[in-house]
């Protein structure tokens, strides 16, 4: 393997850069009689944004906690930034950032005090004021944390997760509580982080967010990755085939999945149009990421 060096987002000198940021093979974790993770495989290349999707209980949270070094595994190979999280030390931990779904804070500190205090734990942190501005809290910098709204606290969580300029950032439902405008601003921030070399693992139930942010999507069901691909290519080949729906002259609902929707619409215009020349309730629907995701999850549930 070729070894090179580079300066990482956190100012660390990294070694092997051809190795994926995350490599997981055969990961397993059981809680009593519940097999939470069942032979999961996952690769995340450096500089990628990967969204991990799956229903509640699929094993996402357990997997991410193992990658973060917060939970022990029963079996499998795990490498994160070239090290095993189960044995990695403080230097490794300073290279990752975590924005958890549930967080604790020191309510009596101001936003600026909280971010500056956290920054001291890292060897080469970002400028605290710049981070606060990046998450849209510049006007709240002197506000005590207990005085923030739920959405503003979530922005603070993000600030605390990125102030160390991590090489790898874990984002768990990061935009919970954000209004639409704040969410778009945050998406732009995530893309800027990726553009500066940060690798991002995102877990979310928001399929629109995954479609906008992710370079690649991994769907987890029953402790395994059941599908992986770009948001545009995820799923079986037929999963992206357009569906044409219409209502016949007799009023009956009809639908047909076809790779040539224009030709089908032309045929319907000649055979199914009413006296006014229109085909009733005609629609051409191209499956979204949400449609494909739901089909994958339901198919897996049926297969098992």
pTM over 0.85: no
Task: Give the span between the Cα atoms of 12 and 53, in whole angstroms.
Answer: 30
- Which tens digits make up the pLDDT trace of 225-271? 999 999 888 877 777 788 999 999 989 999 998 989 999 999 999 99
User: Is 69 a residue whose pLDDT tops 90?
Assistant: yes
The whole-number pLDDT of residue 289 equals: 87
Mean pLDDT calculated for residue range 150-173: 91
The whole-number pLDDT of residue 199 equals: 97
Task: Give the span between the Cα atoms of 206 and 175, in whole angstroms.
Answer: 9
Per-domain residue ranges for the chain?
20-229, 237-303
Homologous superfamily, domain 20-229? P-loop containing nucleotide triphosphate hydrolases (3.40.50.300)
User: Is 286 a residue whose pLDDT tops 60?
Assistant: yes
Tell me which residue has tokens 């994958």: 296
The whole-number pLDDT of residue 103 equals: 67
Nearest to 204 by CA among 246, 272, 154, 160: 154
User: Is 300 a residue whose pLDDT tops 80?
Assistant: no
The whole-number pLDDT of residue 219 equals: 94
Task: Give the span between the Cα atoms of 177 and 206, in whole angstroms.
Answer: 12
Residues in the chain: 304
Burial class (CB in 10 A: 0-12, 13-18, 19+), 291: middle
User: Is 185 a residue whose pLDDT tops 90?
Assistant: no
Mean pLDDT calculated for residue range 104-126: 90
Q: Which helix (DSSP H) or strand (DSSP E) does residue 65 occupy?
A: helix 60-68
Q: Which of 98-102, 177-181, 185-189 has the lowest mean pLDDT?
A: 177-181
């Amino acid at each position: 393997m070729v070894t090179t060096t580079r300066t990482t987002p956190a100012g660390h000198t990294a070694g092997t850069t051809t190795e994926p940021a995350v490599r997981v093979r055969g990961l397993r974790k059981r809680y009593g009689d519940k097999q939470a993770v069942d032979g999961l495989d996952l690769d995340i290349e450096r500089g990628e944004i990967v969204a991990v999707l799956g229903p509640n209980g699929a094993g996402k949270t357990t997997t991410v906690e193992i990658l973060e070094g917060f939970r022990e595994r029963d079996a499998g190979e795990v490498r994160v930034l070239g090290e095993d999280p189960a044995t990695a030390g403080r230097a490794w931990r300073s290279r990752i950032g975590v924005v958890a779904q549930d967080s604790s804070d020191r309510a009596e500190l101001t936003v600026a005090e909280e971010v500056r205090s956290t920054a001291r734990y890292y060897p080469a942190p970002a400028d605290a004021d710049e981070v606060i501005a990046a998450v849209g809290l510049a006007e709240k910098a002197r506000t005590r944390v207990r005085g923030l709204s739920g959405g503003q606290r979530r922005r603070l969580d993000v600030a605390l997760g990125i102030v160390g300029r991590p090489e790898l950032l874990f984002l768990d439902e990061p935009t919970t509580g954000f209004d639409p405008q704040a969410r778009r601003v945050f998406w732009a921030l995530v893309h800027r982080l990726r553009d500066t070399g940060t690798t991002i693992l995102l877990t979310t139930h928001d399929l629109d967010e995954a479609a906008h942010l992710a370079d690649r999507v991994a769907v987890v069901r029953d402790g395994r990755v059941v599908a992986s691909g770009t948001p545009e290519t995820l799923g079986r080949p037929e999963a992206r085939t357009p569906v044409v729906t219409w209502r016949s002259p007799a009023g009956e609902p009809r639908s047909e999945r076809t790779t040539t929707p224009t030709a089908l619409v032309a045929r319907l215009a000649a055979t199914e149009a009413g006296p006014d020349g229109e085909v009733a309730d005609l629609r051409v629907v191209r499956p979204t990421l949400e449609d494909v995701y739901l089909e994958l999850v339901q198919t897996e549930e049926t297969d098992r």
